[in-house]
């Protein structure tokens, strides 16, 4: 097997051990005589897979199942942009939102369909090159932020004080990649495909006392209450992605858990940031405030479009893929999720230094 350094922002790189086990299960699942793709979602083979994935999500985040519940849904994080306000706000209600990147802006546009949005902070005027100062309204039904701005390369390390307003996060691109006090959140949602498995499953972790405030008169597929009560088995869940999510969380536990993985992630990111900072005549970080730089998605530019073209070609030749920045932003983005090996970060850092020496 010849694996390249896959810097793709999502779907992102997965642990090889997980891919190997999952590929076996596609052929035959644990002596069942069937593929994981052929198992009933209401059968004795799948039941423990489902229960274990749910339990592992909570334990990996350090949350207790007495206090939190979880839904494993289809539709991506983008569906949660709408499902969240649908469940918690109505015309006349306010929800606070932080506008710190393109994904957050999409969440805001959906919330505005259901109630009024208080912009608790925005860095749009500077093209989201940093995290904004925050000013909660004090009357929000919840306070929404994006923990890691995947496209722009900023990450929230200090959670805001919301003075009792329930804290809600889109953690799609750094869940299980950074250690936080997750009990500060009342609801966390994340598509799995960045740091937690394949595309197709989105996890929603909800504090039970917050769930009680959700609307009850919604179509069942869009109701957090129904989805949680039915253990995400109201309809056929995304069986295979949930299975791989569970494998991925077991892999994280085997690495020493989220805390250990996070230390490793910071060290990986530092290698690349140090190289960028050492080569200012050619390279620059897209993030204006060093403390806001993401450990997951490292965004940078080169001095000229010409140099960018050459750098991309050299990176490709050296076995690095997925480096071009988001199509709306340009430049480069190195996404180095949990499964991304440190050797790949060393290789990119070395190329940055060498390229700068030759072109600076």
- Positions touching ligand PLP (CB under 6 A) are 10, 76-78, 103, 146, 150, 170, 172-173, 191, 194
Nearer to ligand PLP, 160 or 241 (CB): 241
CB of 12 to ligand PLP, least distance (A): 9
> Is 103 an annotated catalytic residue?
yes
Nearer to ligand PLP, 296 or 349 (CB): 296
Residue 316 to residue 355: CA distance in whole angstroms: 13
Neighbour-count burial for 10-20, b at 16+ CB within 10 Å, e otherwise = bbbbbbeebbe
> Mutual orientation of helices 239-254 and 257-278 as an angle, nearest 10°?
80
Say if CB 226 and CB 71 are below 8 A apart: no
Catalytic residue, chosen from 103, 174, 186, 268, is 103
Name the nearest CA neighbour of 334 among 312, 358, 307, 306. 312
CB of 77 to ligand PLP, least distance (A): 4
CB of 75 to ligand PLP, least distance (A): 7
Nearer to ligand PLP, 314 or 324 (CB): 324
Residue 268 to residue 42: CA distance in whole angstroms: 41
Nearer to ligand PLP, 69 or 146 (CB): 146
> Is 194 an annotated catalytic residue?
yes
Catalytic residue, chosen from 174, 186, 194, 268, is 194
Nearer to ligand PLP, 301 or 333 (CB): 333
> Is 170 an annotated catalytic residue?
yes
Identify the DSSP state of 38. G
CB of 214 to ligand PLP, least distance (A): 21
**Nearest-CB residue to ligand PLP?**
76
* DSSP codes of every residue in 104-169: HHHHHHHHTTTSEEEEEEE-GGGTT-SPPP----S--S-EEEESEETTTTEE--SPPP-TTSPEEE
CB of 159 to ligand PLP, least distance (A): 16
Catalytic residue, chosen from 96, 170, 174, 186, is 170
Residue 188 to residue 202: CA distance in whole angstroms: 10
Structure tokens at 273: 């940031």
Q: Which residues contact 252 (CB under 8 A, 6 or more apart)?
A: 60, 176, 258, 261, 338
Alpha carbon 170 to its chain centroid, in Å, reads 7
CB of 171 to ligand PLP, least distance (A): 8
State the DSSP H helix or E strand holding residue 8, giving kind and residue range, or none if neither: none
Identify the DSSP state of 42. T
Nearer to ligand PLP, 39 or 298 (CB): 298
Residue 306 to residue 201: CA distance in whole angstroms: 40
Nearer to ligand PLP, 106 or 310 (CB): 106
CB of 201 to ligand PLP, least distance (A): 9
The residues annotated as belonging to the active site are 103, 170, 194
């Amino acid at each position: 097997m010849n694996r390249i350094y896959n810097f793709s922002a999502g779907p992102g790189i997965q642990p090889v051990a997980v891919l190997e086990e999952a590929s076996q299960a596609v052929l035959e699942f644990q002596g069942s005589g069937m593929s994981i793709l052929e198992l009933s979602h209401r059968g004795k083979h799948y039941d423990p897979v489902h229960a274990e994935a749910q339990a592992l999500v909570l334990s990996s985040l350090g949350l207790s199942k007495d206090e939190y519940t979880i839904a494993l849904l289809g539709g991506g994080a983008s569906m949660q942009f709408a499902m969240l306000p649908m469940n918690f706000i109505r015309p006349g209600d306010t929800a606070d939102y932080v506008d710190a990147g393109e994904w957050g802006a999409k969440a805001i546009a959906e919330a505005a369909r259901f109630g009024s949005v208080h912009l608790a902070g925005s860095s749009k005027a500077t093209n989201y090159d940093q995290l904004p100062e925050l000013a909660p309204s004090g009357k929000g039904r919840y306070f929404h932020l994006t923990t890691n701005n995947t496209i722009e390369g900023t990450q929230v390390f200090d959670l805001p004080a919301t003075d009792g307003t329930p804290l809600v996060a889109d953690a799609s691109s750094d869940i299980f990649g950074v250690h936080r006090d997750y009990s500060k959140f009342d609801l966390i949602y994340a598509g799995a495909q960045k740091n937690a498995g394949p595309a197709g499953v989105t996890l929603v972790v909800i504090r039970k006392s917050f769930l009680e405030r959700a609307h009850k008169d919604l179509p069942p597929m869009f109701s957090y209450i129904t989805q949680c009560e039915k253990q995400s088995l109201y309809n056929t869940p995304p069986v295979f992605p949930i299975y791989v999510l569970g494998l991925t969380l077991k892999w994280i536990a085997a690495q020493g858990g989220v805390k250990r993985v996070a230390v490793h992630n910071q060290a990986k990111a530092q290698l690349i940031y140090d190289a960028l900072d050492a080569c200012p005549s050619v390279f620059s970080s897209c993030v204006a405030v060093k403390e806001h730089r993401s450990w997951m998605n490292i965004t940078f530019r080169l001095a000229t479009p010409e140099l960018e073209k050459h750098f991309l070609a050299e990176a490709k030749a050296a076995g690095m893929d997925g480096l071009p920045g988001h199509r709306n932003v340009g430049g480069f983005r190195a996404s180095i999720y949990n499964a991304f090996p440190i050797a790949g970060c060393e290789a990119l850092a070395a190329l940055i230094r060498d390229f700068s020496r030759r072109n600076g």
